[in-house]
Amino acid sequence: MLRILLFLGTNLAIMAVISVTFRLLGIDGLLMQNGVDLNLNALLIMSGIIGFSGSIISLFMSKWMAKRSMGVQIIEQPSNKTEQWLVQTVRLQAERAGIGMPEVGVFNSPTPNAFATGWNRNDSLVAVSTGLLQQMNSDEVEAVLGHEISHVANGDMVTLALIQGVVNTFVVFLSRVIGHVVDRVVFKTERGYGPAYYITSIIAELVLAFLASAIVMWFSRRREFRADAGGANLAGRQKMIAALQRLRMAHEPEALPDQFAAFGISGGIGSGIRKLFMSHPPLEERIAALQLMR
């Protein structure tokens, strides 16, 4: 509940900061001098509603979406020793992390992977792939589970939804301002909105959203290091390192859907510009960080 209140409070704070900043910079007066009749406060409220509504809906539907899109089979009653061990390990780690018992599930994928999702730390889902169970030993799987439990305990789902909402608000707001200015100043539209407003707003929103995604991915990569450290605390540092080394041996790991990729275990491969848009740091960096951890 505290994180949800933080979620809503941050939304209001961001809108207030934008409004005050525009006033201090005299943006309102500058727009009026150029004949741009734009109500920034109304636009800001609309942008906040649009920006955060998608994040909130995705957050609350995350478990349902995971079960449907990934075909996750929830372990209601363990039917074999592997399932019994999975449920028991998650229960022990959840108790140590101070969170409610997550749902535990398995999804069909030949590559080793796992993810955690859910709208709060006491109503979450931890799922592992069949490939992970087949290709990793029990110590490595334990570390992967610890990594995912740490994502839940750290509140990463809510935090990234909050960040995405803030970014979306800025993108919607700035794209509409740009579209309005171009329509009024460049194309001299006097009443209503001309084609230039819609075309410019759409282009600006696409460009800004692409650039803003780098900010979200930066936060996601920082959270990944923290989840690795949490997994090391729950399962043991050497087990966590071994799990990441095993993942590094997997060739071309299958990507999770976008809404779950940030909370998976598998890392990507990239460099230069591409690295800015990765949800996970390179596995080599994650392993090095664990080796330096005390």
Q: Which amino acid is present at 191? A: R
Cα–Cα nearest to 281, from 220, 237, 202, 201? 220
The packing angle between helices 40-60 and 62-69, to 10°, is 50
Q: Could you tell me the CA-to-CA distances from 151 to 208, 240, 250, 276 in Å, in that order?
A: 28, 14, 23, 21
Q: Pick the residue with more confidence: 212 or 41?
A: 212
Indicate whether 176 belongs to any domain. Answer: yes
Does residue 53 belong to any structural domain of this protein?
yes
Residue 136 lies in a domain: no
What is the greatest pairwise CA distance in the chain? 73
Structure tokens at 46: 């609309």
Task: Check whether 163 has a pLDDT greater than 60.
Answer: yes
CB contact at 8 A, 73 and 128: no
Comparing CA positions, the residue from 77, 80, 101 lying closest to residue 89 is 101
Given a cut of 90, is residue 240 above it in pLDDT? yes
Q: Specify the pLDDT at position 276.
A: 79
**Burial of 24 by CB count in 10 Å (0-12 exposed, 13-18 middle, 19+ buried)?**
exposed
Q: Is residue 166 part of a domain?
A: yes
Q: Per-residue pLDDT averaged across 53-65, rounded?
A: 88
User: For residue 8, what pLDDT is reported?
Assistant: 61
Question: How many degrees, rounded to 5, is the angle at CA 224 between CA 131 and CA 256?
Answer: 40
When divided into structural domains, the chain yields a total of 1
**148 carries an active-site annotation:** yes
Q: Containing domain of residue 16, as a range? A: 1-69+153-294
188 part of a folded domain: yes
Q: What is the pTM of this model?
A: 0.82
The full DSSP string for 85-154 is HHHHHHHHHHHHHT-PPPEEEEE--SS--EEEEEEETTEEEEEEEHHHHHHS-HHHHHHHHHHHHHHHHT
- Residue 272 in 3-state DSSP? helix
Model confidence at 42, pLDDT cuts 50, 70, 90, reads confident
Give domain status of residue 164, yes or no: yes
Give the lowest-confidence range in 16-25, 58-67, 143-152: 16-25
User: Would residue 135 count as lying in a domain?
Assistant: no
pLDDT band at 277 (very low <50, low <70, confident <90, very high): confident
User: Which residues fall within 8 angstroms of residue 90, CB to CB, at 6 or more apart?
Assistant: 101, 102, 104, 126, 145, 149
pLDDT of residue 52: 82
Q: Is residue 285 part of a domain?
A: yes
Q: Residue 99, SS3?
A: coil
Cα–Cα distance, 131 to 113 (Å, whole number): 7
d(CA 199, CA 175): 10
DSSP strand pairing (123-129 vs 103-107): parallel
Q: 216 to each of 152, 162, 172, 209, 260, how far by Cα in Å? A: 18, 10, 16, 10, 14
Catalytic residue among 140, 148, 205, 224: 148
